[in-house]
Amino acid sequence: MKIGANYLGGDRCEFVVWSPIRETVNLQIETPSPRLVPMTKDSEGYWRVTVSDVSPGTRYRYQLDPDTIRPDPASQYQPEDVHGPSQVVNHDAFNWQDGNWSGVPLADLIIYELHVGTFTPEGTFEAIIPRLGELLDLGITAIELMPVSQFPGSRNWGYDGVYPYAVQTSYGGPEGLKALVNACHQQGMAVVLDVVYNHFGPEGNYTRDFGPYFTSKYQTPWGSAINYDDAGSPGVRNFVVENVLYWFRDYHIDALRLDAIHAIYDLGAKHILEEMADEVAALSEAQGRQFYLIAESDLNDVRIINPKNLGGYGIDAQWSDDFHHALRTLITGDLTGYYKDFGKGADLAKALSESFVYSWDYSPNRDRYHGSYAGDRPPSQFVVCCQNHDQIGNRMLGERLSQLASLSALKLAAATVLLSPYIPMLFMGEEYGETAPFMYFISHSDPDLIEAVRQGRKSEFEEFHAVGETPDAQSIETFKQSILDWEKRSQGHHQTLLGFYKQLISLRHEIPAIKKGDRQNQKITSDESQKLVSYHRWTDNSQILCILNFNKQPATYHFQNSGQTWRKKLDSSDSIWMGPGSHLPDTINNSQEITLNPESCILYNC
């Protein structure tokens, strides 16, 4: 059931709001002609009314019983921030020019995660458009926007959103997002949107005033869980499922990244994720193009992506945190916190082979068994990375990998991700080694909430024994320090690293054995003593051998050749990549030992 303000044309608008706990609900139109309009309640707790003389731009709120005035929980625009009135939007008015767009297949996605506010100095959707050409030149096929639903103030990561249907005003609102999606599609690039269905933000969250949106049965790290299976949950489920369809239908988004689904609790016979997947499949069939759902989860639970006939929820893909952790520990040597579950070459080898390192194995960090086997699922169902907003921004100082590892190690990490059989994801600026941090920032208006955030961040990093002063998340300077410096792309080693990323993506497109992720035709090995990981993959007419040396010393690999001629396609040690120079043979025809430079990778194919 569609909810919110649904503009019907001809200055007529239908208003629908779910509020089963209220005795009366009235529509309070505030501009341009103030008036109070009674609404009618149905048996499921939905209040509705169709009103004439309502044009796009009309601002309104709901009067709940006699004395509570609140914005629309399904508001599509909040021009005066989270506490102000909602505004009617005419989605049919936008001039879409992507009629021939058919999307990007899941297996062809190369995702670029970005934060709208810090991607450009302007911090808007429109400001992204002129830079799409450089991302296309890099080889990116999809951008992933961190959450854009209305949050308090002008700067935030987006996970404090309180209006899931409303597009952030400071970013450019509904028109700005549509213009960006339209431009992406015209240039052949898909758009993934990060959405949050596990909690609402703390400021401007008025949903409790309308109905049982939360349940005390479960707790999340952010408070009470959203009510997906308790009394009154049908209206909550409809609110969220309709939001999923809304982004695909009204904004032409190609895929949704579902934030932290391990904090979405539902013990009903049909999990809310399964319901989402069913509805998206129906919409895909109706519109003749595929829409995707990609889950972020630390559960290592294959049921999330298994099809329904195998007892799964039918979500299209999910992140593999294990891949990141296994790679990160080899690159940095950091074994604190959850990283202590990793650190061996065998971990990365298993991640490359099966996606999950923990597939019902004992996890020292959790002190329990964890995960399930995913080695029979297609590699195109897994998104991997060496950096993302969480792994950077949840560090006290927001250091990127470029501040923690050498240029050689950065190239090695890039090769591991981009030559893997999975869907690769880059975090904005990674491709040229951006050194500006990406820190946690907010712009709340509640002084008590601001102080609570400050103290919470300070306490969190004290537990990690972090040294130094925790940056003030509320400070505008913390935000400004996180803005990308695009000028670096054309300077020194930043330009070289950018070229290396381009070459890796080009090889991914060019070589069938890389492009076609096939678990059956591969052999992955690790040598713990030398910190080497290698993988051999093949198709009918293409083979690759990639050797990754995570050792800070030279390491020897025994190349076993069965008579083919192997040709060197990429060596991160080459001087063109600002390496020490390659001494490895251009061709290999016989079995022999080869020695790799420290923190380097080599790719041969035949």
> Which residues have a catalytic role annotated?
259, 296
| Angle at the Cα of 526 from the Cα atoms of 520 and 528, rounded to 5 degrees | 160
Burial of 368 (0-12, 13-18, 19+ CB in 10 A): exposed
Contact 532, 345 (CB under 8 A): yes
For residues 541 and 353, give the distance between their C-alpha atoms in angstroms, rounded to a whole number: 21
189 to each of 28, 139, 142, 552, 578, how far by Cα in Å? 41, 10, 5, 38, 31
- Please name the residue ranges forming H helices in 542-594: none
For residues 285 and 587, give the distance between their C-alpha atoms in angstroms, rounded to a whole number: 49
- Residue 159 tokens, joined: 């996970």
- Residue 206 tokens, joined: 């008025």
For residues 311 and 309, give the distance between their C-alpha atoms in angstroms, rounded to a whole number: 6
Residue in 187, 194, 186, 190 with CA at minimum distance from that of residue 95: 186
Q: Please tell me whether residue 39 adopts helix, strand or coil conformation.
A: coil
Residues near 323 by beta carbon (within 8 Å), at least 6 away in sequence: 348, 351, 352, 355, 382, 384, 385, 420, 422
One-letter amino acid identity for 150? Answer: Q
DSSP state of 336: S
Task: Name residue, tokens 């070289």.
Answer: 496
DSSP state of 466: -
Q: Which residues sit opposite 603 in a β-bridge?
A: 546, 570
Contact 422, 511 (CB under 8 A): no
| Angle at the Cα of 246 from the Cα atoms of 245 and 251, rounded to 5 degrees | 115
Residues near 51 by beta carbon (within 8 Å), at least 6 away in sequence: 12, 13, 15, 27, 29, 37
Count the alpha carbons within 13 Å of 226 in the hemisphere toward its beta carbon: 23
Q: What sign does the dihedral 253-317-519-563 (CA atoms) show?
A: positive
DSSP state of 234: H
Residue in 336, 293, 346, 299 with CA at minimum distance from that of residue 321: 299
| 136-159: burial string, b at 16+ Cβ within 10 Å, e else | eebbbbbbbbbbbbbbbbebbbbb
Residues near 427 by beta carbon (within 8 Å), at least 6 away in sequence: 113, 114, 385, 387, 388, 389, 392, 400, 438
